[in-house]
């Protein structure tokens, strides 16, 4: 069913969440890689059940269909590690079957599979080199170069985790604790992760179960985790050498473990995978047990005691389900309603009084729902607090139209402060507080809010000294305080950490301009533009000013042209474009821009006529 739902995501039907013809399916799990892991287990479990001799034809049809559907689902996720695991598992099954059965047909099938995989790899290398494969599904699954950015991030993540594991004897032996991978990751953050706004910089999982267990549970945990695979495979291997009847089943189980190990080298586990995997472990225990007779002749428990235990467990289970599933579901639902209402605040136009009323209504609803989700007090409240903080920050451009914004801002600061207290080794709440206080202190250089912003951003630096974005927050706090030299110092450190980030170079250029280093500002701005960064309308205006001062007329003309694209109805931009074009000898464009300014605002016509005539042309 999960595979069929995933197939539905390739359609344009609104029934399938995450659909509309997406390239990579993720089923109901919400993540392609995690979904692939589940489908992988089901594929090989179905194969194992399919080869059992005692099943009916209808059961064979069911398991055969599951093999095909779930195998295709793995391929459609385009998760390279999972596809590798699928291929390796199939090859292993065919190899072991050919070895144990001594069947000529099995050997032919094995050679065919090996030849197919070899041809695929050769074609992938050759076609990628020729430029035939450029985009889409094939581009992704054939891109296994170590220079691929996603591949690089995996290595950086593992390296950060291993460095954190080495921090002390305690972490080497027992690790940082379950669910705490983000702490060593932050301490040893690789600045290359940050390429600009929108970069994925928070990894709370290692994307490798063996590294994650080592880092979070130490050598003791890793030995325990590895022992699951060691003892299971050893039991199955012993059974394979002594058993003849159930060899296809045993080979299927061995293939499951090998495929699962390969998959887990590139991703982490979820509850869906754990439930399936531990069910398989139970099956392995049954298959590998040599004393079946003692299992069959076990003594039944006392009915009264058994009934009492069953009642207690049933009641406890219902309470547990309510506490850990029902209440969090209500909290999640309230939080998502807050997020949706927040979209209304940000996306509603501002063309009439009614629009302002709608924005106010959306804002009030968003705050109400965010507060409701936090009030449930479930473990997800950490994320709920961060969500309301992000909403408040995203709403800054419209704060002047909203009643109660400052009150909501104060409430949010109080809630995020609780995250700081609950998670003292997490830099993210510190950064949210820093940005919120920066918002409060922006209009007054002497505001104590700027000192509080600085305190939180510097604390974030203590937690993660190489996290590039934190240097922006420190720099912005110093900008609020009009301490441009200090701001320059921290923006320069951000550039040192990763000189290939256009945003860092642009921030440093802006500060240098404030310090009257116009040549330095222009040089950095040029580098920032070549690297690429997200440029706002106000940034373009500053670019114009920077390049005007150093008489780089080409860049001035380019920046003003971009402004006319952002605001095509701004007559002043077109008038400025006319002047800029004239300075670089593009007379036709200059005249056309002058006329466009006049069409938008007739007040410009008198000056425009004089300007055109000065170029030796007639109006």
Cα–Cα distance, 29 to 9 (Å, whole number)? 12
Cα–Cα distance, 475 to 412 (Å, whole number)? 23
pLDDT of residue 409: 93
User: How far from 440 is each of 104, 443, 587, CA to CA, in Å?
Assistant: 77, 8, 47
Alpha helices (runs of H) in 498-586, residue ranges in sequence order: 502-514, 518-531, 537-549, 553-566, 571-583
pLDDT of residue 29: 76
pLDDT of residue 291: 53
Question: What are the residue ranges spanned by the domains of the chain?
Answer: 306-412, 535-619
- List average pLDDT for each run of 10 residues in the chain, which is 619 residues long: 79 68 73 87 90 84 90 86 90 87 82 85 70 66 74 91 94 93 93 86 88 95 95 89 81 92 88 87 78 57 85 94 93 94 88 84 95 94 95 91 92 96 93 94 92 96 94 96 96 95 94 94 93 87 93 93 93 93 92 93 90 85
Are 55 and 63 in contact by the 8 Å Cβ rule? The answer is yes
pTM: 0.82
pLDDT of residue 421: 95
Question: What top-level class would CATH report for the domain 535-619?
Answer: mainly alpha
3-state helix, strand, coil in the chain (%, to 5): 75, 0, 25
CA 400 to chain centre: 32
Instruction: Name which of 89, 100, 77, 76 is nearest 48 in CA terms.
Output: 89
The secondary structure element, H or E, covering residue 279 is helix 271-288
* Residues in contact with 498: Cβ distance below 8 Å, sequence separation at least 6, in sequence order: 191, 192, 194, 195, 468, 504
Are 556 and 544 in contact by the 8 Å Cβ rule? The answer is yes
Cα–Cα distance, 567 to 577 (Å, whole number)? 12
pLDDT of residue 134: 64
pLDDT of residue 299: 67
Are 82 and 75 in contact by the 8 Å Cβ rule? The answer is no
* Residues in contact with 400: Cβ distance below 8 Å, sequence separation at least 6, in sequence order: none
Instruction: Name which of 253, 284, 267 is nearest 92 in CA terms.
Output: 253
Are 612 and 618 in contact by the 8 Å Cβ rule? The answer is yes
Judged by DSSP in three states, 617 sits in coil
pLDDT of residue 617: 82
Residue bearing tokens 């909290």 = 331
């Amino acid at each position: 069913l999960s595979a069929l739902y995933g197939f539905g995501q390739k359609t344009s039907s609104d029934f399938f969440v995450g659909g509309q013809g997406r390239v990579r399916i993720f089923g109901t799990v919400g993540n392609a890689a995690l979904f692939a892991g589940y489908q992988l287990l089901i594929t090989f479990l179905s194969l194992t059940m399919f080869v059992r001799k005692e099943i009916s034809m209808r059961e064979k049809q069911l398991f055969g269909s599951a093999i095909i559907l779930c195998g295709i689902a793995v391929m459609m996720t385009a998760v390279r590690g999972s596809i590798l695991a699928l291929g390796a598992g199939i090859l292993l099954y065919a190899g072991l079957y050919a070895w144990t059965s001594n069947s000529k047909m099995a050997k032919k099938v094995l050679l065919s599979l090996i030849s197919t995989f070899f041809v695929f790899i050769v074609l992938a290398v050759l076609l990628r080199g020729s430029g035939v494969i450029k985009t889409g599904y094939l581009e992704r699954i054939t891109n296994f170069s170590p220079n691929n950015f996603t591949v690089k991030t995996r290595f950086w993540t593992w390296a950060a985790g291993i460095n954190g594991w080495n921090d002390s004897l305690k972490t080497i032996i027992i690790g940082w604790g379950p669910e705490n991978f983000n702490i060593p990751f932050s301490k040893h953050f690789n600045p290359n992760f940050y390429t600009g706004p929108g970069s994925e910089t928070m990894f709370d999982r290692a994307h490798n179960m063996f590294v994650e267990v080592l880092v979070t549970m130490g050598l003791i945990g890793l030995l325990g985790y590895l022992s699951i695979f060691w003892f299971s495979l050893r039991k199955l291997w012993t059974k394979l050498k002594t058993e003849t009847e159930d060899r296809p089943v045993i080979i299927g189980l061995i293939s499951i473990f090998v495929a699962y190990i390969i998959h887990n080298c590139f991703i982490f586990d979820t509850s869906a995978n754990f439930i399936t995997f531990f069910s398989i472990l139970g099956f392995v225990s049954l298959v590998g047990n040599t004393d079946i007779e003692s299992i069959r002749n076990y003594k039944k428990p006392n009915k009264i005691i058994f009934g009492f235990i069953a009642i207690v467990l049933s009641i406890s289970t219902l309470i547990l389900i309510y506490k850990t599933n029902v209440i969090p579901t209500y909290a999640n639902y309230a939080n998502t309603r807050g997020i949706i209402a927040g979209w209304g605040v940000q996306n509603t136009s501002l063309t009439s009084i009614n629009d302002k009323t709608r924005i106010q209504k959306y804002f009030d609803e968003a705050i109400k729902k965010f507060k409701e989700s936090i009030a449930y007090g479930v473990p997800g409240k950490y994320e709920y607090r961060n969500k309301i903080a992000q909403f408040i920050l995203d709403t800054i451009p419209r704060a002047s139209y909203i009643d109660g914004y400052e009150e909501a801002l104060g409430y949010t600061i109080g809630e995020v402060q609780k995250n700081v207290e609950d998670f003292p080794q997490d830099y993210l709440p510190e950064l949210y507080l820093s940005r919120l206080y920066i918002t409060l202190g922006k209009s007054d250089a002497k505001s104590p809010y700027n000192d509080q912003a600085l305190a939180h951003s510097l604390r974030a630096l203590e937690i993660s000294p190489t996290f590039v974005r934190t240097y922006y927050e420190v720099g912005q706090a110093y900008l609020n305080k009009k301490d441009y030299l200090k701001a320059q110092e921290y923006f320069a450190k951000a550039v040192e950490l990763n000189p290939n980030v256009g945003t860092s170079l642009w921030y440093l250029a802006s500060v240098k301009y404030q310090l009257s280093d116009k040549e330095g500002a222009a040089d950095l701005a040029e580098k920032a533009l070549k690297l690429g960064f997200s440029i706002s309308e106000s940034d373009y205006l500053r670019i114009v000013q920077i390049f005007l001062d150093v008489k780089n007329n080409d860049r001035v003309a380019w920046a003003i042209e971009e402004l006319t694209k952002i605001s095509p109805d701004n007559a002043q931009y077109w008038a400025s474009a006319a002047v800029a074009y004239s300075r670089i000898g593009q007379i036709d464009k200059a005249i056309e821009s002058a006329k466009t300014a006049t069409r938008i605002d007739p007040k410009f016509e008198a000056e425009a006529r004089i300007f055109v005539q000065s170029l030796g042309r007639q109006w």
